[in-house]
Homo-oligomer: A and B are copies of this chain.
Amino acid sequence: MRSKPDKSGHGSKRILTPPLRKQTVTAQDVATRAGVSRAVVSRALSNNGSISPATREKVLKAAQDLGYQVNFLAQGLNRQRSHLIGVIVARIGDPFRSALLDGLLKEIQRRGYQALVTEITGEEDLAQTLRRFTQFRVSGVIVTSGKPPAAIVNECVQHQIPVVGINRQPDIPFVDFICSDNQTGADLAAEQLLRVGCRRFGWLNNRDSTWAGLMRGEAFQAALCGAGVDTDRDLHHRVAEQEGYEGGRQAALVSPPGDALEGIFCANAQLACGFLDGMRQQGKEAPDDFHLIGFDNTPTTAQHSYQLTTLDQDIAEISRLALIRVLDRAMHPQQPSVTEWVKVSLIHRRTSPQIR
């Protein structure tokens, strides 16, 4: 039945493989079965180019019968573009990052793309990864960690591959950015802490902070300043030597016991959880002894043992916009960079409860 008169030389390459391997169904098979040419099959499946409804049906049926599946490698090779979207992440173990990856995956799949995920550990990896993505002719790249080197980004631009950064410093030509509105977030935090009557403030951040972290810190300081706080005297910077929970805990442990800070703002949720636990180890508890607000409303912060007041980043919205940007720039590669700021909201929980 499945004779292929026009492909006499077909089996030459795998003449040695045993007959148990069922040949994969190709567009030619569908064409033969439907009594049309491969070109028609292609059109029928891609709604691209004109075709009569009747033959269209015929082809679709034949494809169905044979269980035909497009070879994405061949399709991509021809179209110069695969249905792949590259995603660059780091430290997936961090709850916020895994939540963001989750959001991106959902959105990518919802749009019919496939995610190519790479976890990087340093800036060097980033360049290599970006290059690898271009070798797969991805339809776009989403960077959630690291700072894309201009040189490689240019290669992407050359290949017409859209690059969008999430929570990265928006300063690369032809690259779009989606950022949480750290400014407003810091304002909300300052406002809350002031309202509950805090006088002496703390800002906790990692030693090697991300751009987003720095921005939050600066905005926090500015907000306090604007409210008349003498930040030179009453805003204390604490630096976590390690990343994540443990860094936050250590920072609390090494705090000078004397200087009782009343309102602390943390660059992220992990630091905040660690800080809270560190304070507990010293016999201090929020909100009795101090108020605490973190960034990133991760599941952990909601748990009974923490109940941390945090700023929520709208991950679904961030992901949605990221995909929109990718698709949009694919159509207008030369348009100037656009940066979108996604609103954040303050979630009142135990460590700094709402006051009315």
Contacts and interface: CB of A to CB of B under 8 A. Distances in A.
A95 B92 contact: no
Given A72-B135, A114-B136, A93 B95 contact: yes
A48 interface: no
A24 interface: yes
Question: For chain A, which range describes its interface: under 10, 10 to 19, 20 to 34, or 35 or more residues?
Answer: 35 or more
Contact of A160 (B21, B93, B99, B117): B21
Interface in A32-80: 69-74, 76-77
Contact of A300 (B92, B132, B300): B300
A285 B299 CA distance: 22
A102 B71 CA distance: 29
Interface string A315-355: 00000000000000000000000000000000000000000
A255 interface: no
Contacts of A299: 93, 245
A3 interface: no
How many copies of this kind of chain does the complex include?
2
B95 A102 contact: no
A38 to B, nearest CB: 16
Contacts of A306: 305
A135 B70 contact: yes
A168 interface: no
Contacts of A99: 92-93
Contact of A158 (B21, B135, B136): B21
Contacts of A114: 116, 118, 132, 136
Given A72-B135, A73-B136, A77-B74, A119 B95 contact: no
A37 to B, nearest CB: 20
What 9 A-B pairs are tightest by C-beta distance, nearest first?
Answer: A277-B304, A98-B98, A305-B305, A73-B77, A117-B117, A92-B102, A105-B119, A73-B76, A72-B135
28 contacts: A21-B158, A24-B159, A69-B131, A70-B135, A71-B135, A71-B137, A72-B136, A73-B73, A84-B116, A92-B98, A92-B102, A93-B98, A93-B99, A95-B98, A98-B98, A98-B101, A102-B119, A114-B116, A114-B118, A115-B116, A115-B118, A116-B117, A117-B117, A245-B303, A273-B303, A277-B303, A281-B304, A305-B306
